[in-house]
Structure 1
Amino acid sequence: MTEELLNHYFRALASKTRRDIISLLKDDCLCAGDIGKYFNLTGATISHHLKILSESNLIKRKKVKQTVYYSLNIDVWNILIKWFCEMK
């Protein structure tokens, strides 16, 4: 994994709100409206955080009819976990 890619992941995780969104998604896939219910933030702000997480590939988007569902990108998380485990 390149340093540039790691920096990209860590920038996305620098926000507590984005880390909280990740925690919500660890158990289930949710739409933006359902995610927003957990925060005292506007829909636009939630969408901004979801966009950053999605662009970093930490989460995936799946559109079902008119609703977009978000879930963790397990492949990327496994790579990050492996990277952490290999640190000495």
Structure 2
Amino acid sequence: MKRYKVYKDIRKRAVIMGLPISLFALMMTSVIGSLLFIIFSFNLLVIILVFIFNGGLYTALTQLSKHSALLHFKKVFPTTICNKRESQLQYEEN
């Protein structure tokens, strides 16, 4: 009888080849662009440099996805907006 493993990681992000979807899309855009570059300027040095560039980009993106704190930026807008005064200074005369 066949046994099925319960999938418990339903809340994790979707990952393709070890990259989140947005970084995978960036990687595929780079691969397609480099293929076009190879087709229109066919040279052995260009082919080697493109493979090195794509390999370096892949390793850099996997490191960034493992250490996601490097991409964490402070939010620009506050989560709540309130009219309450935050200081005790009186700017208006009563």
Q: Which has the larger radius of gyration?
A: 2
Higher relative contact order (CA 8 A, sep 6+): 1
TM-score of the superposed pair, with normalisation by structure 1: 0.28
More helix by share: 1
